[in-house]
Chains A and B, each alone.
Chain A
Amino acid sequence: MTGSVGPQTGAAMGRRDIFTFIVGGRAGAGVKKSGATVSNLFSSMKRHVFQMDDYQSLIRGGHNFVATTTSVRRVTSHYMRADLLVALDARSVEVHRDHLAQGGVLVYNSDEVESDELPDGPETIGLPLHSLAKEHPDPELRLGLAGPAALAAVIGLSGEELGRLVETEYKRDLDANRSFAGAVYRAVSEKAGGRFELESGEAELPLLTGNEAIAMGACASGLDVYLAYPMTPASTILHFLAAHADELGVTTMQPESEIAVANLAIGAAAMGARTMVGTSGGGFALMEEAFSLAGMAEVPFLAALSSRPGPSTGVPTYTEQADLSFALNQGHGDFPRVVASPGSVEEGYRLAAELMSLVWELQVQGILLTEKHLSESRATVALDLEDAPDATPRLHDGGEYRRYAFTDDGVSPLVFPPSDELINWSSYEHDEMGMTTEDGFEITAMHDKRNRKLSTLTGRLKKMKTVNRYGDGGPVIATYGSTTLSVLEALRAGGIEATVVQPIYLRPFPVWDLEGLRESRPVVVEQSSTGQFATLLSDKLGVRPTAEIRKYDGRAFDPEDLAAELGDKIG
């Protein structure tokens, strides 16, 4: 898409190698589906896609939008500058008036938007979407289809290609959809048909959200039971597993509260079921006592913790990285735990399996820490399903059985009922048989045993990939979790040469693989107002950053904005 001229109007196309589509409207107008359909279309053109859904904590009304960016090379963020912006209502024009790229086109609902409300500058095309939709049933819901129809027009798809897209994605009420889409397509084609030429890529890649990848990764490693209480942005793990429970052999249950979730999970794991729970900050707070129980009783426990802005109820449907220190320190008392955060959707899959495997191998407690931006965003993925270790516990192989038998590495072999052995898991401090103790020597010995597991865990991590590094040379940028996606795209957007250091594992913190980070005086990028990640780097490595870039307005970074800030800080 460099420098060539569009066939219809002679307007020059952008020099960027990306194309961004944004569709906005009220909740209930089919905005989410509109964005997803466009992503599916881009993916079917063998292009890479990153789709970000912005939605509010309501069911109808308000403002929703989807920003989808596509390229023939890997793209790891949406951009907030649209080449095509479809505004289904007046509020969308208002909210997105500054979100058009150079040469971008705004298609708006002229039934709701007055021409004096339009931004100056961009090319605008008004269509009476309500009037067009009213000819069919459910007019409000149909509005969203204007997105893919307008998109088809501006990228020069033929009417037949649009028809096929509608048949695949908007099957219900097909005739009405064809008619509505056709009307929008024709109107937009007249003014801006074929304005943007999008080349096909090399391979068609599947699209996944972070939560779907996490759910799938856990399944790959042997998930038997998933328990969750609905809480944004973790609920879609529950929905995915409930929808695929039979195919994947996973018992999926929604109990009465997060406390029930955590305690049922402990009972299930103690009987040998590979179990995972999922929640957000407030829900995980409710699980704190049970997390500590898992630590004392040495129950394999894995939680997916997907963050939103806090504290407390916070901003339920937006994104933030302010639960880091909470995740690292969850649960009263001394016991080893493992915390890791994926920096991509693919990594979400692998890490879910890897953490499940670790918690079962070592009978420790694990947290897969992520945030809304990864959980709910959708990206094309190159996924190796085999890259997921199996979760296999150490089993007792005969002789006298003691549930908490002392071993060199602190891990005691397991037996699950039904059995003639006496198997006691306990929340109290206990002896090797699991019997309650108040004896000083026994208390010390059991504490030491659990601490030996920490050494064993650290030893395991040293043989695994615990840090990602991108780039080679130049200034260093340190980040983690979903912000990694934004940083990598910012470097591409700004043509910036830098090395990105992304710790995947956060506890135990991989100091052995981060030598040199202190000396490099990195720029630290994160979504926490107090710089929790920078604090961790300082505590563990003595890092004093060159600069810190913190965004905490509930939104992920825009790559071009971040590139400008990085440019400033790196100099």
Chain B
Amino acid sequence: MRGARPRGEQEIQMAREFITEAENTWCQGCGNFGIMNAMKRAVGLLAERGVPRSHIAMTAGIGCHAKIFDYMALSGVYSLHGRAMATAQGMKLANPSLKVVAFCGDGDAFSEGVAHMMHAAKRNSDITVIVHDNGVYALTTGQRGPTSPRGFRGPSTPDGNNEDPWKPLVLMLEAGATFAARGYCGRVDQLAEIITGAVLHEGFSFVQVLQPSVTFTNRFEEYNRLVKPLEGGPVGFGEALALARQEEPLPAGIFYRSEKQPYEVSVNRGRNPVEDRMSREDRLGALAEILGR
């Protein structure tokens, strides 16, 4: 991992505290390590910016990516394949004082869970979704996924993938994401900054992380060559879409950011459901009034 930036005391302590005792079963050199390290660093950065670890909750789907749930010492819900972004929205809905981060795989997010992704962006739910995009269903032994290129050979498509891939950022921008970014697991510092920005953003934040699978889709060399940091920060919507479609070079950074009321504010009508609970007396009183009408 490229270091270079000096780290604060709090950050170092956080990194030490962060890993649980669970045995790590990611392949050596897996891109997921980069994402986890970036998240650890981001938690430290967030603490410096007033978001304590106690207020961060996570979810994960099912897949190699999702093991991050066991490895990272953050509270949360280990969800179902394709459903972590729905779980995350429920968590945020119940206690909007929390920052909620959903870790998803590319198949998780854009196959099984694509409706939840689109609607989370559409309603501008104040969650952060980080997609570990390795273009394959690694944990189930290598089938093609929604971001796999045409021709990709896997056990369910031995003659080569017969579909064209989606570009996740294009979909998310069109669906209404108010924060859209791409990171690369090989550039941990930048990814940590992106994740920090995503979590701090009030509204739906989408981060596509290029994450080669050393076992199935080892594109490290290709990405090292193609991925270039985005100069100058977020751009307008049209330009962001163009960047999202670009294949060479592959820009990394925050493409787009806009401000819009997060969904939870309007649907909760300004309340925090778990903190602002009505007393039993008030509830029964309200029911009596409704009954009396």
Give chain A's interface residues, CB within 8 Å of chain B. Answer: 206, 208, 216, 219-220, 222, 224-225, 227, 244-249, 251-253, 255-257, 259-260, 263-273, 275, 289-290, 293, 297, 383, 385-386, 388, 390, 416-428, 433-436
Contact = CB atoms under 8 A, between A and B. Distances in A.
Given A270-B77, A270-B94, A419-B54, 17 more contacts: A216-B287, A219-B287, A224-B273, A247-B290, A251-B93, A259-B115, A259-B116, A260-B89, A260-B116, A263-B83, A267-B89, A293-B79, A386-B284, A424-B69, A425-B76, A427-B78, A436-B22
Interface stretch (B4-12, B218-226, B263-271): B263-271
A248 B287 contact: yes
8 contacts: A206-B292, A251-B269, A263-B90, A267-B86, A273-B94, A289-B80, A417-B95, A427-B78
Nearest to B93: A268
A257 B70 CA distance: 29
A385 B287 contact: yes
Contact of B274 (A208, A246, A273, A388): A273
A265 B55 contact: no
B91 A260 contact: no
A259 B77 contact: no
Interface in B43-67: 52-55, 57, 59, 62, 67
A426 B88 contact: no
A248 B290 CA distance: 10
Across the A-B interface, the 10 shortest Cβ-Cβ residue pairs = A267-B90, A264-B90, A273-B94, A263-B86, A271-B94, A249-B278, A268-B94, A267-B87, A426-B78, A423-B75
B271 A251 contact: yes
Contacts of B91: 267-268, 270-271
B261 interface: no
A440 to B, nearest CB: 16
Scoring B20, B283, B284 by chain A CB atoms within 10 A of each residue's CB, the highest score goes to: B283
Contacts of A422: 20, 73-75
A338 to B, nearest CB: 22
Given A222-B280, A225-B273, A424 B94 contact: no
Give the one of A219, A248, A293, A427 with max B CB within 10 A. A427
Nearest to A254: B267
Interface residues of B, number: 57
A224 to B, nearest CB: 4
Contacts of A249: 271, 276-278, 282-283, 286
Contacts of A208: 291
Contact of A417 (B22, B75, B78, B284): B75
B98 interface: yes
Of listed B273, B278, B289, residue having the most chain A CB within 10 A:
B273
A427 B98 contact: no
Interface of B: 20-22, 52-55, 57, 59, 62, 67, 69-70, 73-80, 83, 86-95, 97-98, 115-116, 119, 267-269, 271, 273-274, 276-278, 280, 282-284, 286-292
A293 B292 CA distance: 40
Contacts of B93: 225, 251, 253, 264, 267-268, 273
Given A417-B54, A421-B75, A267 B278 contact: no
Contacts of B83: 259, 263, 290
B77 A267 contact: yes
A276 to B, nearest CB: 13
A534 B22 CA distance: 50
Contacts of A390: 280
B75 A297 contact: no
A149 B210 CA distance: 71
A256 B118 CA distance: 10
A413 to B, nearest CB: 15
A385 B291 CA distance: 10
Nearest to B86: A263
B10 to A, nearest CB: 15
Contact of A435 (B20, B59, B88, B276): B20
B287 A271 contact: no
B80 A271 contact: no
Contacts of A253: 93, 267
A251 B271 CA distance: 9
Contact of A266 (B77, B115, B287): B77
Contact of A271 (B57, B62, B73): B57
A264 B87 contact: yes
Contacts of B289: 247
Nearest to A261: B86
